[in-house]
């Protein structure tokens, strides 16, 4: 549903749905980071991941500007309890 110019800054109330393959790849990127850097305790904001190549990197400071084939997966979707 297109948003009118008056409310374009309002967040979308629809829950985010992510491709399970992208979620799996994002979790693997995070797990690799934790394995390589076990002493670091900083929690990332999430992972930027390429939709077709599944290459990605963790984001810690601010939300990135994404390229067309990239998506941002927030840490809440990556974290597995």
Condensed to tens digits (0 to 9), the pLDDT of residues 14-73 reads 557 889 999 999 999 999 999 999 998 889 999 999 999 999 999 999 988 999 999 999
Give residue 40's pLDDT: 87
Instruction: Give burial (CB, 10 Å; 0-12/13-18/19+) of 25.
Output: buried
Half-sphere exposure of residue 71, counting CA atoms within 13 Å on the CB side? Answer: 17
pTM for the model? 0.75
Structure tokens at 21: 């393959």
Q: How far apart (Å, rounded) are the C-alpha atoms in residues 74 and 58?
A: 10
Condensed to tens digits (0 to 9), the pLDDT of residues 58-67 reads 999 998 899 9
């Amino acid at each position: 549903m297109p948003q009118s110019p008056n409310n374009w800054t309002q967040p979308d109330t629809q829950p985010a749905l992510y491709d399970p393959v992208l979620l799996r790849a994002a979790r693997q990127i995070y797990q690799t980071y934790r394995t390589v850097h076990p002493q670091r305790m900083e929690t990332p904001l999430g992972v930027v991941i390429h939709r077709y190549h599944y290459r990605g990197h963790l984001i810690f400071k601010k939300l990135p500007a994404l390229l067309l084939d990239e998506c941002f997966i927030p840490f809440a979707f990556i974290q597995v309890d």
